[in-house]
Structure 1
Amino acid sequence: MANNVSTRENAERIAIEALGFVAADPELLPRFLAITGIEAQAIRHAAREPGFLAGVLQFILAHEPTLLRFAAESGVAPADVAKAIRYLPLGDDRHDIST
């Protein structure tokens, strides 16, 4: 899959694919749920919240073996995962800045 991470729509597509990757993995999903504090049945609701998709990509990026496996399975280059996060709400590391 060729990706051009130059729009929010493309970044969301990568993040949704990453969420599917995490959800389908019996080892990653419980870790993701534990780290985020989200219950499995609440994922669909949480996915509509600002910052959730950026959080999914942060989870993937935080563990290099997971990132590399996601990249291999999805065809999304690791660098594109890192780029995608910047196009998503709260994906710019400015979580605690008030406006």
Structure 2
Amino acid sequence: MNADQAQVIALQALGWLAANDDLCPVFLGATGGAIDDLRAGATDPAFLASVLEFITMDDAWVVAFCDTAGLAYDQPLRARYALPGAEAVHWT
């Protein structure tokens, strides 16, 4: 997956997250952000990566997002790895 495809999926994820009345406040609380930060972050690949990273923390969130967006369940994580920051993952 290339970065452009990943950003499209991340933007879909951002829209899904912003419309989710239960989960959006959890994301905002975890990041210390405000609702206006979602709009501002839509053009920042690192912010979009954080949205995907958040959603992929829970399988139920991945399934709900992918079912809504019509994506295969592996696409959010593949998109996450195509955006900034994934190259610095250490499993130690």
Aligned length: 90
Q: Is the 8 A contact 2:18 2:38 kept in 1?
A: no
Amino acid of the residue matched to residue 80 of structure 1? Answer: Q
Distance, in Å, in 1 between the alignment partners of 2:45 and 2:71 is 23
Compute the displacement of 1:82 (Å): 0.9
Distance, in Å, in 2 between the alignment partners of 1:71 and 1:65 is 10
Query: For residue 15 of structure 1, what is the aligned residue in structure 2?
Result: 10
TM-score norm. by structure 1 comes to: 0.81
Structure with greater helix share of residues: 2
Within the candidate set 36, 43, 51, 1:41 is matched to 36
CA deviations 1:1-38 (Å, max 9, x no partner) are xxxxx211110000000000000010011011001111
Within the candidate set 65, 75, 80, 1:70 is matched to 65
TM-score norm. by structure 2 comes to: 0.87
Compute the displacement of 1:57 (Å): 0.4
Within the candidate set 74, 80, 83, 1:79 is matched to 74
Higher-Rg member (1/2): 1
Structure 1 segments unaligned to the other structure (5+ residues): 1-5
Compute the displacement of 1:63 (Å): 1.0
Distance, in Å, in 1 between the alignment partners of 2:89 and 2:78 is 17
Root-mean-square deviation over aligned CA pairs = 1.8
Compute the displacement of 1:71 (Å): 1.0
Structure 2 segments unaligned to the other structure (5+ residues): none
Compute the displacement of 1:47 (Å): 3.2
